[in-house]
Amino acid sequence: MTLKGNALVGQSGGPTSVINSSLYGVIAEARNHSCIENVYGAIHGIEGVLKREIIDLTRQDEGTIQGLTRTPGAALGGCRYRVQDEDLERIFQVFQEYNIKYFFYIGGNDSMDTAHRISEYAKEIGDGVLRVIGIPKTIDNDLPVTHHCPGFGSCAKYVATSVREAGLHTASMYTSEPITILQTVGRNTGWLPGASALARMDEEDAPHIICFPEVPFELNQFLGKVEDTYRRVGGAFIVVGEGLRKADGSYVSAQADEVGTDAFGHPMLGGASDYLREAIEKNLKIKARNVKLDICQQAAMHFASARDVKDAIAVGRSAVKAAVDGKSGYMVTLLEEEGATSFSELEKVANLEREVPREWIDPSGSYVTTEFLNYARPLIQGEVEVKIRAGLPAYVKLRKIMV
């Protein structure tokens, strides 16, 4: 059955450098289907729906739409709002008011939970009311089912580049600043710390030690590895995931108070590298420094992966095609081949995480295997041509043309 009406797209969670490429894919593909009359955008995801803050994407300048594929951040604005049962009726009132027949939600694990709940509510109130498709996004690369996630390739490219460059800096300063600890994001998974291994060209190159959230942290073992590397190489470059955990499952550092916990109950992480630096200086009496890439690794469009951009566009386009063809309650997934897509039921990905396979982490627990490198390397290939104005990247902004 063909549904005729408007499409609404929202972005949720932390932005990636290519999340707007998926938005572009939705807009561009929607133009090919006469059953979609207009494409609207929800400002700050589902929060924008609840507040009726919805803009018209159909009336944006063509240059702006094209520029989305070269612009970081979430052009519509992201959110970390957890939908409550009482919100669902209000959401569908807004959908009815704006004649929304197609809803696309770009995000990660928690965002797929939102999409799943909306899809299930649509089934409860009557088939054919709304079609819902989730579009994957996360630098953490932790969504299950999909081969990889849009956003990971570009972030991995930035992390590996940072490690290669900072590693050279550290090596040149071994006599006075011999230890560097670089921290990536990734909550409970080590895909980004593992990707730092792409930087190494020979055994003495950074990174020397990688600390994975999947491998329980044991302080004495860690200190022994650092001391051995220091004696052998002259220094050490360590990469750690922000979600580093002890054997009992607790984080080595986390802020879990009211301010430091998000709507989905996730504690604020960020102190893992501080913990390691203090442990090294206290126990080994060796000078150490730590580097936190933080949001810079999510926003580095200037050195994004061209493969990543193409995949991000592909999932946006596939979402629209699937919805028009009658699919609902699915998330688009990526296959190993560039731009190739498939689908998974939202219930199989919502609120679930995919860890780095233990067999892709070497027996020492502090480096990756060849299988990991062979998986990650194709995802960082190609560079994106970013427009430069007055020596700096020139990015676009959507006009807030309210509906």
Contact by Cβ (8 Å): 174, 204: no
Active site residues per annotation = 140
Average pLDDT, the chain: 94
- Whether the CA torsion 162, 296, 76, 137 is positive or negative: it is positive
pLDDT at 327: 97
Q: Judge whether residue 256 has pLDDT over 50.
A: no
Residue that wins the pLDDT comparison between 175 and 266: 175
Q: Is 161 helix (H, G, I), strand (E, B) or coil?
A: helix
pLDDT band per the 50, 70, 90 thresholds, residue 267: low
β-strands 54-56, 36-42 pairing? antiparallel
pLDDT at 126: 81
β-strands 341-345, 330-334 pairing? antiparallel
Q: Judge whether residue 258 has pLDDT over 90.
A: no
pLDDT at 257: 42
The percentage of the chain sitting over the pLDDT mark of 90, rounded to a whole number, equals 92
Q: Is 348 helix (H, G, I), strand (E, B) or coil?
A: helix
Q: What is the spatial distance between Cα 219 and Cα 40, in angstroms, rounded to a whole number?
A: 51
pLDDT band per the 50, 70, 90 thresholds, residue 172: very high
Q: All domains of the chain, ordered by start, with CATH? A: 5-150+302-352+382-393 (3.40.50.450), 155-298 (3.40.50.460)
Q: Judge whether residue 246 has pLDDT over 80.
A: yes
Q: What is the spatial distance between Cα 86 and Cα 384, in angstroms, rounded to a whole number?
A: 43
Which pair of structure tokens corresponds to residue 230? Answer: 């220091």
Consecutive H or E run containing 46 = helix 45-50
Consecutive H or E run containing 239 = strand 236-241
The residues, ordered by sequence, that sit 6+ positions from 381 with a Cβ below 8 Å of its Cβ are: 305, 306, 307
Span 99-109, mean pLDDT?
97
Strand ranges in 150-231 using DSSP code E only, listed in sequence order: 179-184, 209-211
The amino acid at residue 24 is: Y
pLDDT (tens digit, 9 = 90+) per residue, 202-224?
Answer: 999 999 999 999 999 999 999 99
pLDDT (tens digit, 9 = 90+) per residue, 51-84?
Answer: 999 999 999 999 999 999 999 999 999 999 999 9
pLDDT (tens digit, 9 = 90+) per residue, 379-388?
Answer: 999 999 999 9
Q: Judge whether residue 278 has pLDDT over 60.
A: yes
Span 19-42, mean pLDDT?
98
Q: Is 103 helix (H, G, I), strand (E, B) or coil?
A: strand
Consecutive H or E run containing 141 = none
Residue with tokens 């108070």: 257
Q: What is the spatial distance between Cα 10 and Cα 71, in angstroms, rounded to a whole number?
A: 16
